[in-house]
A and B are shown apart, each in its own frame.
Chain A
Amino acid sequence: DGGITQSPKYLFRKEGQNVTLSCEQNLNHDAMYWYRQDPGQGLRLIYYSQIVNDFQKGDIAEGYSVSREKKESFPLTVTSAQKNPTAFYLCASNSGRLADTQYFGPGTRLTVL
């Protein structure tokens, strides 16, 4: 997990609320990624950013939003439009070439009550 932190580790949300998951890295990486992991589903890409102030939708971006105002930070907001947000969320970073080795944070488990 070294170099990438995610907070909080556990997060509980009531239906209809927006929540923001934090991801910070001190690896001086240009690119950052958000994945969602459901049991038996593997990892699915939500959003990614290759440079500051720019980001791209992944495979399942609906109901999520991101910002990349600083190189070190890539927060993910799970909006009320996301119908099934209960999942394990993983943040990753790398040098900027999408297919290169990625370094992952410890994850945030979001539960909707």
Chain B
Amino acid sequence: SQQGEEDPQALSIQEGENATMNCSYKTSINNLQWYRQNSGRGLVHLILIRSNEREKHSGRLRVTLDTSKKSSSLLITASRAADTASYFCATGRGSNYKLTFGKGTLLTVNP
């Protein structure tokens, strides 16, 4: 069953704008991860945030986690055409539980 659900399903913005994607989940988690997938390619890990963390940064990426609302957001600042991809959240309930992936947000950055 799907644990994470991304919102929106698709997002189209202009180059230079910020892009925000959200992920909601149902059960308590150990960590939440964001992955990126270019069309027809494998997934690439972007960032992992643990349940005791509220915010993490990596370059132009900012991830927040609100465990009380069971939600996370991924912010990409100053987007570029090369950021066009699908973005997935994956939740980990614990070391012995497999990751559960959402259905993804398709981000299109128009030049």
Q: Are A100 and B92 in contact (CB-based, < 8 A)?
A: yes
Inter-chain contacts of A73 with B (CB < 8 A):
none
A48: CB under 8 A from chain B? yes
B103: CB under 8 A from chain A? yes
Q: How large is the interface on B (under 10, 10 to 19, 20 to 34, 35 or more residues)?
A: 20 to 34
Q: Name B residues whose Cβ lies closer than 8 Å to a Cβ of A.
A: 1-2, 30-31, 33, 35, 40-45, 48, 88, 92-99, 101-104
Q: Name A residues whose Cβ lies closer than 8 Å to a Cβ of B.
A: 1, 4, 6, 33, 35, 40-43, 45, 48, 58-59, 88, 90, 92, 97-107, 109
Q: Are A43 and B88 in contact (CB-based, < 8 A)?
A: yes
| A27 CA / B83 CA spacing, docked (Å) | 27
Pick the contact of A43 from B92, B94, B95, B101 — CB < 8 Å? B101
Q: Are A98 and B97 in contact (CB-based, < 8 A)?
A: yes
| A105 CA / B43 CA spacing, docked (Å) | 8
| A97 CA / B96 CA spacing, docked (Å) | 6
Q: Are A102 and B99 in contact (CB-based, < 8 A)?
A: yes
